Structure 1
Amino acid sequence: MIAESTTASLVLRATEAFPSNGSRQANLRYKHPHITIEDRGLRPLRPDHVRLQMLRVGVCGTDLHMTQRDEQGFLRCSAPAHIPAEGRVLGHEGIGRVIGVGADVGAFRVGDILAPESVLSCSVCRSCRSGCFNQCQKAVLLGMEQDGLFSTIADVPARSTVNISELGQTDQGLQMAACLEPAGVALLCGMNTRITPGDKVLIFGAGPIGLLCAIVARQVYGASSVAMVEPSPYRRQFAGRWADQAASSADELTTPAHGWDVVIEASGDLSNINRVFRQIAACGRVALLGRGGQPLTIDAVDHMITNAISVMGLRGHLGGVYERLIELCLSGHLPLDSIITTTLEGLDKLQIVLSQPDVVASTDCKIVVKLAD
C-alpha cells in the first residue's frame, strides 16, 4: 500500500467572539463561519493512533448548527467547540478502513473497518473511574474540539474505536454502521429513561436522533406506543413508519389516559417540556438530548414533586453501547439504515449540504456521505 502524504478535509473557519455584554467569564463563541475543502499534510502517526481511510460519514444536526448563525450572528451550536486559526475539520460520525497502525496499537491491523467514538474520554478522571465515561471531566469532542472525520484520511485514538468489520461486509452493513454514533445516543437514552414494555413515549423532533429514539423504543425496549412532534412536513411524514402519532405540535396529539411515561426532547426547543409537563405520568422520565442553549423552565413543580417525575440530561454512547448495537444490527432487530434518506458521494457534495443547513430539515432525515468503497 502506498502511504498517503495528504488528506482532503472539509474545514470550518470562524472568528472568535465574546457575547455582546463583554463578559469574558462566558464561554468563547464564534462568528462568521466559512467552509472550505483543503488538502492538508498528514503528520506522523502517533503511537497510540490508527490511520483510517474514511468510507462513510454521517451528517449530524450539530454539524449543521456549526454552520448556522443565530440572531446575533454567533454560531448556533451550543456544544463545546474550539475552532483554531487554521480551522476545524468537522465530523464525528463515520467509519473507516485501517491503513496505518501506531507502534503501540496491538488490537487492530490494516484492513479492519473501525467506527470511532465521538466522545474521547480520558479514562482516569473520577467520572471515568466510576464508569461514567460519557461524563468524562476531560472529554474532548471529535470534530468539535479535535479535528474530526470529514476527511479522506483521519487519524484517531485506537482506544476510542470499535471494530465493525463483521457488520461492514455489505453495503447495507456499511450504511448501518455509519449511523452507529446517533443510534448509540438513542440506545443509551432508552436505557437511562428505563423504557419498558407497555410504556407510552413522546418524542419532540423527528430528526435522526429523535427517529432513532422512536425505533429503539419500539424495537429494543418494547414501548407500546410512540408519538412524535415535528414541524417539518417531510420529517413528520417520514416518521409515520415508526410513530403511532406524528403531529406538528403536542396539542394535536391524543394524550394517553394515564399520561406519557417517557418524554424525549431531541429538537433543541426546551420550551416543549413545559408545554406537556402536566401530561407526564406518575414516575415519568424526561430526557433532554437536543442542545439549543435555552434555559429549561418548568411551571408545574408541584406536579413534578407529587408524581416523582425525573428530568435528566444525556449525551454520548460510551460504555459498550456500540457493541450492543452491532449485535442488534447483525441479528436484524435494528434496521439503522432505514433512517437514511440521502447518500451523497464526495466531500464536494457534503460542502454543498453544510452551506445550506436550513434546507436539510425540509428535504431529508439522515444524510450519509460515501467517501470510498
Structure 2
Amino acid sequence: MASTATAQNLSFVLQGIHQVSYEDRPLPELKNPHDVIINVRYTGICGSDVHYWEHGAIGNFVVKDPMVLGHESAGVISKVGSAVTSLKVGDHVAMEPGIACRRCEPCKSGKYNLCENMAFAATPPYDGTLAKYYVLPEDFCYKLPTNLSLQEGALMEPLSVAVHIVRQASVSPGQTVVVFGAGPVGLLCCAVATAFGASQVIAVDIQQPRLDFAKQYATTATFMPSKSPAVENAERLKQENNLGTGADVAIDASGAEPSVHTGIHVLRNGGTYVQGGMGRSEIQFPIMAACSKELTLKGSFRYGSGDYKLAVGLVASGKVDVKKLITGTVKFEDAEQAFKDVKAGKGIKTLIAGVAE
C-alpha cells in the first residue's frame, strides 16, 4: 500500500474478482471551468460495489481494467473552476456520482438518469470515489447545511435512490405503502414514504433482525412472509394490517421474485407498483393480476432531477433520519475488510473514512 503521507491521490482499486489494491493515482485536474475538485471524506459501501468485487461484473458492465470503487460519497471542496459560482473552497457537499451527457433525448427531456452516455462512478469503465480527490461538475455537488454532517452527506446517494422510487410511486398523504426488502434502500423508502404522509408503511423481509430495526425506524408495521404461495402471503399481509381490498402502493427494493409476486397481489385495484430492486434479469410475473387490477407499473433507476436536493432537505428538516443507518466507520486502509464485512451481512450501512491527512 502506498504511504498515506506521500501519496497524492491514494485510491482503492479493484483489480479483479476479490483482488484489490491501494494505488497512488494522478491528482485530478480541472479541465472544465464549471468543475470542482473534492477531497472525499466519507464513502458508503453499496451492494453494487460489493457485487463488482465479488463477481467482476453486473450484467453487461464488466470490469476489464483496474477500477476505483465507491460512489456514495461526501467531501470538502478543495478547488473550484473559474466559472463556478455556487461553491467555494471549504464547502461541505454531497456528491452525485453520475455525470449525464446533457445532449441525448432523455437528458433533454428531463430524465437525465436515463442518459444514453452516462458516466457513473464505479461503473465500468469509469473510476469511483474511493480516492482522496474526485472531480465533479458544480451542479452535481449539493452543499450541506450546517446541521448535516459529512457522514450524513454520504448517505444522500442511497436516500436519493429512495426518493426517486417513492416519487415514481406518487405516494401521497393518507396512502398505504408496502415496501419489500428492509436493506438500506428499502428502509429509506419507508422513511421517505412516511415523510410524504403515508398513513401506513409496512416493511417486508425474511430476516428478523432487519424487521426489528425497521419496526423502530420508520414503519407502522412489519411482515415476514412464509414459504407459502405469494397469493397466500399477500392475503395474510392484508388481513394482519387491515388493508381491506389491498394497499395503495407496493415498492420492491429486494429484487426477489417472491416479493414481486406478493407485491402485485397485495395491491388494491388501480394500485401502483414500483420496481426498485434489481434481481435476476428475467423472472416469472403475475401478468393477469396486473392486468385485471389495472395496476400502474413503473421501474425506478438511480435518481433524477430534484432528487438529491429533496434528499438533503428531508434530512436537514428532520423528516428523515439517516444517522441511525450508520452502523460503523472504518479507516481508508481497512476498506477491504469493510467489503468482506458487508458481504457477510454485518451492519446496515458501513462508511469508509477518507484518506488521512
Within the candidate set 224, 227, 237, 1:248 is matched to: 224
The 1:365–1:5 alpha-carbon spacing in structure 2 relative to 1, beyond 3 Å, is closer
SS in 2 for 1:66: helix
Within the candidate set 76, 100, 108, 2:87 is matched to: 108
What's the CA shift string for 1:79-119, capped at 9, x where partnerless?
x635342x111111111111122344444221122222122
The 1:276–1:352 alpha-carbon spacing in structure 2 relative to 1, beyond 3 Å, is same
| Of 52-61 and 247-256, the range deviating more from structure 2 | 247-256
What's the CA shift string for 1:52-90, capped at 9, x where partnerless?
111111111211222224xxxx64x34x635342x1111
Aligned to 2:348: 365
Matches within 5 A, 1:115-264: 115-145=94-124, 146-164=126-144, 167=145, 169=146, 173-219=149-195, 221-241=196-216, 242-249=218-225, 251=233, 253=237, 254=240, 256-264=243-251
Q: Provide structure 1 residue ranges, at least 5 long, that are not aligned to the other structure.
A: 15-31
The 1:356–1:345 alpha-carbon spacing in structure 2 relative to 1, beyond 3 Å, is closer
Q: Whole-Å Cα distance in 1 between the matches of residues 285 and 39 of structure 2?
A: 47
Within the candidate set 257, 262, 266, 1:279 is matched to: 266
TM-score normalized with structure 2 length: 0.86
Q: Whole-Å Cα distance in 2 between the matches of residues 95 and 295 of structure 1?
A: 35
- Contact kept, 8 Å, 2:180 with 2:259, in 1: the verdict is yes
- Contact kept, 8 Å, 1:235 with 1:364, in 2: the verdict is no
Q: Whole-Å Cα distance in 2 between the matches of residues 348 and 204 of structure 1?
A: 35
Q: Provide structure 2 residue ranges, at least 5 long, that are not aligned to the other structure.
A: 1-5, 227-232
- Contact kept, 8 Å, 1:201 with 1:260, in 2: the verdict is yes
What's the CA shift string for 1:17-49, capped at 9, x where partnerless?
xxxxxxxxxxxxxxx341222222224332343
Aligned to 2:40: 54
- Contact kept, 8 Å, 1:283 with 1:310, in 2: the verdict is yes
- Contact kept, 8 Å, 1:119 with 1:318, in 2: the verdict is no
Q: Whole-Å Cα distance in 1 between the matches of residues 207 and 219 of structure 2?
A: 15
Stretches of 4+ aligned residues off by more than 4 angstroms = none
The residue type paired with residue 252 of structure 2 is E
- Contact kept, 8 Å, 2:76 with 2:92, in 1: the verdict is yes
The residue type paired with residue 348 of structure 2 is C
Tell whether 2:353 aligns with 1:351.
no
SS in 2 for 1:127: helix
Q: Whole-Å Cα distance in 2 between the matches of residues 211 and 97 of structure 1?
A: 28
Q: Whole-Å Cα distance in 2 between the matches of residues 110 and 104 of structure 1?
A: 14
The residue type paired with residue 129 of structure 1 is K
Q: Whole-Å Cα distance in 1 between the matches of residues 298 and 162 of structure 2?
A: 14
SS in 1 for 2:25: strand
- Residue 247 of structure 1 and its aligned partner are, at CA, apart by 3.3
- Residue 365 of structure 1 and its aligned partner are, at CA, apart by 1.0
What's the CA shift string for 1:118-153, capped at 9, x where partnerless?
221111111111111111121121121321111122
What's the CA shift string for 1:277-320, capped at 9, x where partnerless?
22211111111111123314223x33322321022111122212
Q: Whole-Å Cα distance in 2 between the matches of residues 149 and 42 of structure 1?
A: 13
- Contact kept, 8 Å, 1:5 with 1:42, in 2: the verdict is no
TM-score normalized with structure 1 length: 0.83
- Contact kept, 8 Å, 2:28 with 2:133, in 1: the verdict is no
| Of 124-133 and 137-146, the range deviating more from structure 2 | 137-146
Q: Whole-Å Cα distance in 2 between the matches of residues 355 and 341 of structure 1?
A: 15
Q: Whole-Å Cα distance in 2 between the matches of residues 8 and 109 of structure 1?
A: 24
Aligned to 2:326: 340
May I ask how many residue pairs the two structures share in their alignment? 337
SS in 1 for 2:268: strand
Aligned to 1:12: 14
Over the aligned positions, Cα root-mean-square deviation in angstroms equals 2.3
Within the candidate set 299, 307, 330, 2:293 is matched to: 307
